[in-house]
Amino acid sequence: MESMKLRTALLVEDSPSARRVFQSLLEQCGLEVAVAGSGEEALGYLEALLPDIVFLDNLMRGMSGLETAREIAARPACAGIPVILLTSDLTAAFLAEARRHGAYTALPKRADLALFQDLLTELRTRGPEAVRLSPAPLEDVALVPGEAERLARDLGNLLGQAFAPVAELVFERLRSELLFRGLNALEAARPQLTEAVRGMVEEIVREALAEQAGAPPVPRLHRDGEAVPGRQDTAPVPRPVLGTG
């Protein structure tokens, strides 16, 4: 049985973060990986590149993975190149649709090194006829216990890689904005704060001087001349006493 040589791969994925993840994964499988950001871009240099295998994300801006797979299958120069669709919604119906569009098979879109290694081993072992004789359609594709948690964790990792730089920029801008507004508010309140501090200092100085001189507290005055507790520089003004005669 003739073996299939799989040395080069074309990865078509419009998300930069997902593209980095799956490129690294395929390189760990021993493949030399070229990348494209859309189906249109991939078709533009596919025949010049002629990779040994193509991995297509299904949901992309512009041409979908299914449409791109159909275009690849229609080109005589690309006959014999296995096309693998990657989807986050793998069902028996989608797998059948992928094969109708010329794909060899479809895989769940998750960073599972063993999954890709098993696929490549199968293709290398079965040889070129593996592309002509696709595996039998799956009766059902269901999540095994713990698979939902695993998918959620993988998705969280991908989102974290994609949004971490954005979040850092947002927090830095927020910190700068709060600092700027705080300084502006402080500057606007400077006259009132200065006057309040000056009054407090003068009061403290007067009390300290009075205590040092041993002088008794000097009462402050209301407008009608009545004394109130406190100290003041002037003595209270006594009320006039009127005679009775």
Please name the residues in contact with 65: beta carbons below 8 A apart, sequence gap of 6 or more: 12, 39, 56, 57, 58, 59, 85, 86, 87
Could you give the percent of the chain with pLDDT greater than 90? 29
Query: Is residue 176's pLDDT more than 90?
Result: no
Q: What is the DSSP string of 167-203?
A: HHHHHHHHHHHHHHHHHHHHHHTHHHHHHHHHHHHHH
Q: How far apart are CA 63 and CA 54, in angstroms?
A: 15
Query: Is residue 195's pLDDT more than 60?
Result: yes
The SS3 call for residue 220 is strand
Q: pLDDT category, 65, cuts 50, 70, 90?
A: very high
Express each pLDDT in 6-16 by its tens digit.
Answer: 899 999 999 99
The SS3 call for residue 28 is helix
What integer pLDDT is reported at residue 152 of this predicted model? 67
Average pLDDT over residues 189-214: 78
Q: What structural domains and CATH numbers belong to the chain?
A: 8-142 (3.40.50.2300), 143-212 (no CATH)
Q: What is the DSSP string of 112-142?
A: -HHHHHHHHHHHHHH-THHHHSPPPPPS---
Provide φ and ψ at 24, rounded to 5°: -60, -40
- The amino acid at residue 165 is P
Distances (CA, A) of 63 to 44, 86, 99, 129, 156: 13, 14, 17, 28, 26
130: left (phi over 0), alpha (psi -120 to 50) or beta: alpha
What integer pLDDT is reported at residue 192 of this predicted model? 80
Average pLDDT over residues 175-186: 68
What integer pLDDT is reported at residue 117 of this predicted model? 92
Query: Is residue 216's pLDDT more than 50?
Result: yes
Highest mean pLDDT among 83-97, 118-132, 133-147: 83-97
Eight-state DSSP code of residue 237: P
Please state, rounded to an integer, the average pLDDT across all residues of the chain. Answer: 77
Q: How far apart are CA 70 and CA 72, in angstroms?
A: 5
Query: Is residue 19's pLDDT more than 70?
Result: yes
Average pLDDT over residues 4-27: 92
